[in-house]
Amino acid sequence: MITFKNVTKCYEDTETYAIRNFSETIEDGEFILLTGESGAGKSTIIRLLLKEIEPTMGRILVDGRDISSIEDRKIPLYRRQIGIVFQDFKLLPDHTVYENINLARMIAGSGRNKEDKKISYLLSLFGLDMLYKRYPRELSGGQMQKVCLARAIINHPSIILADEPTGNLDRNASVEIMRLLELIARQGSTVIVATHDVDTADGLSYRQIAIEKRAQDISYTYQKTQA
Ligand SMILES: Nc1ncnc2c1ncn2[C@@H]1O[C@H](COP(=O)(O)OP(=O)(O)OP(=O)(O)O)[C@@H](O)[C@H]1O
Ligand SMILES: [Mg+2]
């Protein structure tokens, strides 16, 4: 379970709130679409969960534990339970499909034989069986994103975070990626997707968390106490 308790983030060099007084509880296995206009704070929420940045105020609990209490040296271990998917894929260009997925597995240090089977299983689940020897430049955007999904879930993370995963894809590829993300949630991972494209999830079962920026909510007193 992931709980945000009155989370506020001001980036160091700005006076404005990236996210303000955000509270929400996300249960295990939920498929969440995080929506809101550009600048609403969707990526900020994802980055907070990854511990790339720290909240200015408030607390974030993952399975009951306040993640701000995790020591720096334990952050890699914390991140091991999280799979990440980006808009711009971030595949290694000089590695094949297989190698890109396998590398994620090796970094996590899991055993070889069983996982080879797991990679084949994922490739066939995602319809990539024939493509495992190809390099990213030889794939379509939709295929690249499927490789990213496979890479994100190869180590059985309990949480998947995806920031605009369909941002560079056409409608059909987007619908397919959303369908796979929902499938991943149905298999038990908590999946949080920041997206502008709610309609690509038509017919899927999801919960939408819509961030609405209300101008000057909560009042300035809050802002002053932070300085
Ligand atoms: N590193 C940063 N330093 C300063 N301000 C930032 C930083 N990153 C984001 N912001 C600001 O925080 C606010 C929220 O940004 P964020 O990237 O979370 O929005 P978003 O909902 O992901 O938007 P988009 O839909 O365009 O991706 C914006 O006003 C943005 O300008
Ligand atoms: Mg964003």
pLDDT at residue 224, as a whole number: 29
pLDDT digits (tens, 9 = 90+) for 109-149: 765 556 678 899 999 999 999 999 999 999 999 999 999 99
Quick check: CB of 36 below 6 Å from ligand 1? Answer: yes
Ligand that lies nearest to the alpha carbon of residue 18, given by its number in the listed order = 1
pLDDT at residue 225, as a whole number: 29
User: How far apart, in whole angstroms, are the C-alpha atoms of residue 187 and residue 184?
Assistant: 5
pLDDT at residue 215, as a whole number: 53
pLDDT at residue 113, as a whole number: 58
Tell me the pTM: 0.91
**Arithmetic mean of pLDDT, 42-70:** 97
pLDDT at residue 165, as a whole number: 96
Beta strands in the chain (DSSP E): 2-9, 19-26, 31-35, 57-62, 65-66, 82-86, 159-163, 190-194, 207-210
**Arithmetic mean of pLDDT, 12-41:** 91
Ligand that lies nearest to the alpha carbon of residue 17, given by its number in the listed order = 1
Contacts of 157 (CB under 8 A, 6+ apart): 80, 81, 82, 83, 189
Determine the 3-state secondary structure of 80 from DSSP.
Answer: coil
Q: Which atom, in ligand 1's list, is nearest to the CA of 44?
A: 18
Distance in Å, CA 74 to ligand 1 centroid: 27
- In this predicted structure, the answer to whether residue 188 has a pLDDT above a threshold of 80 is yes
pLDDT at residue 114, as a whole number: 63
